[in-house]
Amino acid sequence: MRIFSGIQPTGRKHLGNYLGAIRNYVAMQDEGEAIYCVVDLHAITVDFDPAELRERVYNTTAILVAAGLDPAQCILFRQSDVPEHTELCWLLTSVTAYGELSRMTQFKEKSEQQKSFVSAGLFMYPVLQAADILAYQTDEVPIGEDQKQHLELARNVADRFNTRYGETFIVPRHRIPRVAARVRDLQSPLKQMSTTASTEQGKVHILDDPDVIRRKFQAAVTDARRDVVRSPDKPGISNLIELMAAARGISPDDVEREYAGAPGYADFKRDVGDAVVKLLAPVRDRYGPLRDDERALEAILIKGADKARAIAADTITRARTRTGFGRPQ
């Protein structure tokens, strides 16, 4: 089985990134051929600083390795080092409808945030994402709940290309965490925890100081009731139950049973904060030494890109041949 996923090098990685994606990356590298990409081309679809982008690529790489990715066991590379991604993106535009892209929820949300200038790259983002996945003949993609629509587009594009030009791509399937698939903002629990949209108090960064994490959970918005149970009208406490379950490796039902009859939320919120601190501590401890050695990080990305290109080049050759481009094979 071949696994692929990409992660943006924008902003500081938060708990939603860790539970929705990074932790799955680590687990899945034992299940097949795992390919992971720091998607710097996606990062330029919004306003960015070039010097900061380079730093954030290294930050993200260090986070991934600190979390447990082993470059000897998986392929870890920088997207822009593999030009096959952009060529395949252009080929896939021929089987992607304008209407499909205009209906993308993330495009609507991000374009609303950037009214002064919405780039064409932001609109085309899902096509490049489809190219990222399909270039590696991917069987399974670990994603958070928020990426289901984008993966469905990639599946539609693969099917359409195969129907029009002949069997070329594997149609990928997703894997979504059963617990904490969509981590909520601690201050606005109806919204997803976000790098850009959440306030500092609403998101927990992977590298936050333990006391900062505890304070954020103590201040988390819940509700006027006192019972620790999940309910549609209790998004804040439901989010904390999911986070406790994910951090401790138990089910949300187990959390509810453990805190049945609790006198209120104060002790529960303290315990969630402690559980998250314990979960993130190994990553935080390993990150510093890894981030300090940029030459080693660059070596990981270059070696990974060489391996990735060897795979993607075969796919591109097949796609070019099917669409009538280049020299006859």
Question: What secondary structure does DSSP assign to 62-125, as a single string?
Answer: HHHHHHT--TTTSEEEEGGG-THHHHHHHHHGGG--HHHHHT-HHHHHHHHHTTT---HHHHHH
- Answer yes or no: is pLDDT of 29 > 90: yes
Element (H, E) at 34: strand 33-38
Mean pLDDT score across all residues of the chain: 93
DSSP 3-state of 211: helix
Contact 121, 154 (CB under 8 A): no
Percent composition of the chain: helix, strand, coil (DSSP 3-state, to 5): 60, 10, 35
DSSP 3-state of 253: helix
Going by pLDDT thresholds of 50, 70 and 90, the confidence category of residue 119 is confident
Q: Extract the tokens encoding 167.
A: 């069997």
- Answer yes or no: is pLDDT of 120 > 80: yes
- Answer yes or no: is pLDDT of 271 > 90: yes
pTM of the model: 0.93
Q: What is the pLDDT of residue 112?
A: 78
- Strongest mean pLDDT among 7-11, 108-112, 116-120, 161-165: 161-165
- Answer yes or no: is pLDDT of 309 > 70: yes
Q: What is the pLDDT of residue 329?
A: 63
Q: Extract the tokens encoding 89.
A: 């993106």
DSSP 185: P
Please write the tens of the pLDDT for every residue from 135-172. Answer: 999 999 988 777 889 999 999 999 999 999 999 999 99
- Answer yes or no: is pLDDT of 314 > 80: yes
DSSP 3-state of 226: coil
Residue pointed to by tokens 């535009």: 93
**Beta-bridge partner residues of 32:** none
Contact 287, 66 (CB under 8 A): yes
Average confidence (pLDDT) over 82-107? 94
DSSP string, 2-18: EEEEEE---S--BHHHI
CA distance 61 to 57: 6
CA distance 156 to 95: 9
Going by pLDDT thresholds of 50, 70 and 90, the confidence category of residue 281 is very high
CA distance 303 to 61: 13
Using DSSP, how many helices (H) and how many strands (E) does the chain show?
14, 5
